[in-house]
């Protein structure tokens, strides 16, 4: 367990205890990854629905900006998994 007192720990810094044992980094990854990926897929589906021409009107420049931003974010995810660091999450439409 961490050297911090229990009262100083936040949910993000606390070491989760599962069945009386401290969760390893790999176990934490296995627990968090499926939920985060599923949430990302749902968010991407919502963006995909913006492409419905019968519901929305947008320019080619707007389409390109959205798609290029998402492609860049996927590239940053790949870089993070390759140990090449994280970039800030900034986007302005």
Domain parsing of the chain, residue ranges: 21-50, 58-86
Tens of each residue's pLDDT in the chain, 93 residues: 444 444 454 555 566 676 788 999 999 999 999 999 999 999 999 999 999 999 999 999 999 999 999 999 999 999 999 988 766 666 676
Q: Tokens 């940053």 appear where?
A: 76
Question: What pLDDT score does 7 carry?
Answer: 46
Helix (H) or strand (E) segment spanning residue 8: none
- Closest C-alpha among 68, 57, 56 to residue 93: 68
Question: What is the model's pTM?
Answer: 0.70
CB count in 10 Å sphere of residue 69 = 15
Question: What pLDDT score does 18 carry?
Answer: 65
Question: What pLDDT score does 19 carry?
Answer: 73
Question: What pLDDT score does 2 carry?
Answer: 43
Any residues with CB less than 8 A from the CB of 44 and at least 6 apart, and which? 70
The answer to whether the beta carbons of residues 10 and 18 sit under 8 Å apart is: no
């Amino acid at each position: 367990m961490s050297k911090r007192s229990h009262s100083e720990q936040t949910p993000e810094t606390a070491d989760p205890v599962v069945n009386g044992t401290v969760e390893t980094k790999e176990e934490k990854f296995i627990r968090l990854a499926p939920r985060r990926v599923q949430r990302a897929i749902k968010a991407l589906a919502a963006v995909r629905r913006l492409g419905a021409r019968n519901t929305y009107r947008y320019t080619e420049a707007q389409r390109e900006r959205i798609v290029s931003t998402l492609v860049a974010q996927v590239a940053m995810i790949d870089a993070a998994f390759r140990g090449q660091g994280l970039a800030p999450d900034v986007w302005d439409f």
